[in-house]
Structure 1
Amino acid sequence: MGARRKSRELALQALYQADMSNVSALDTLPVLCENFEVSRKALPYGEGLVGGVVANLAAIDRIIEAGSAHWRVSRMSCIDRNIIRIAVYEFNFAADVPAGVAINEAIELAKRFGSEDSPAFINGVLDAIRKTLSRQGR
């Protein structure tokens, strides 16, 4: 497994913990690193993902709401919404990750951490968001 995939897993775990405990993901990340074995190669990109999602959370959630017909972010499962947040951050705010890569990586995270329906749900939401952003010229 590549360092970036491990970074995404670390970011997902920090964002999930933050959602479940109402503590900032920036505060949960060091605790995860203290209590679990974290790859040194994965840590910098994982920290960047967590920081980027936290810094852009309101904008990311607006993008998700606009792209997910009939689904509010607050009604999505905690795992699904945070996988989607990471992917939206990567392809909308991080210049070096193509949308297709972010979507594929999100689907892989969903297969590992989500429910049986998560991969299809996440793929549908992210594809709709990608198409909307493409039409807007982003």
Structure 2
Amino acid sequence: MPNEKQPEGASVPARKPSRRRQNRVAAMQFLYLYESNRGDTLTELLLGFMDTQEKERDYYQFAEELIHGTIGNLEEIDAKIQSLASNWKFDRIARVDLAILRMACFELLHRSDIPPVVTINEAIDLGKEYSNQESRRFLNGVLDRMSSELGRPLREAE
């Protein structure tokens, strides 16, 4: 029954990640891969990557939007990260953190349909899951500075 108490010591079943979360994970993984394979064309790399995913390609539409948007605005995004990541040399940022930051920066700068607080929380959660302990503070610091420059409410989409 839904209202029954769990026996002490029983584990609570893990919630299945949302479709958006799964798409963000796929986009982050691709951006990490892209950074290591800059010589390959985006189309070839993306087709190969999508072939490795569990679900059909149209399931990952949001991931592809994030990928194309991030890569299409990479120069602007990297300049923004460099300006906000004080005391960090750009080439010293862990690749997984860079992939997360780039994707989150794209969302903050170009996806006003997503509330900034959602983007920041998702990025920090990805950092917790895929990077190290220091990552959370670093990602939060950079994204918090960026969000303060947005000039829009943190909890609302436009």
TM-score, length basis structure 1: 0.88
1:80-106 CA-to-partner distances (Å, cap 9, x unmatched) read 011011111111111211111100000
Bigger radius of gyration among the two:
2
**Residue 51 (str. 1) matches residue 68 (str. 2):** yes
Mapped pair 1:67 → 2:119: no
Residue aligning to 1:12: 28
Give ranges in structure 1 of 5+ residues lacking alignment: none
Mapped contact 2:50–2:57 kept (Cα < 8 A)? no
Deviations 1:96-118 (A, max 9, x none): 11111100000111111111211
User: Whose helix fraction is larger, Structure 1's or Structure 2's?
Assistant: 1
Shift of 1:35: 2.2
- 1:19-77 Cα shifts (integer Å, max 9, x gaps): 12223555322212212313656410000000000100000111111111122332201
Q: Which residue of 1 aligns with 2:52?
A: 35
Of 28, 51, 76 in structure 1, the residue corresponding to residue 93 of structure 2 is 76
Does the residue aligned with 1:119 lie in a helix, a strand or coil? helix
Instruction: Rate the CA distance shift 1:34–1:123 in 2: closer, same or farther, 3 A.
Output: same
Taking the aligned partners of 2:92 and 2:110, their CA distance within structure 1 comes to: 24
Work out whether residues 15 and 50 of structure 1, in 8 Å CA contact, stay in contact via their aligned partners in 2. Answer: yes
1:129 Cα deviation after fit: 1.4
Q: 1:86 & 1:24 partners in 2: Cα distance? A: 19
Q: Sort the Cα spacing of 1:78 and 1:24 in 2 relative to 1 into closer, same or farther, 3 A.
A: farther
Q: TM-score, normalised by structure 2?
A: 0.78
Equivalence map 1:99-138=2 (5 Å): 99-134=116-151
Residue of 84, 92, 114 corresponding to 2:109:
92
Matched-pair identity in %: 33
The 3-state SS of whatever aligns with 2:55 is coil
Aligned residues: 135
Q: Which runs of no fewer than 5 residues in structure 2 stay unpaired?
A: 1-16, 153-158
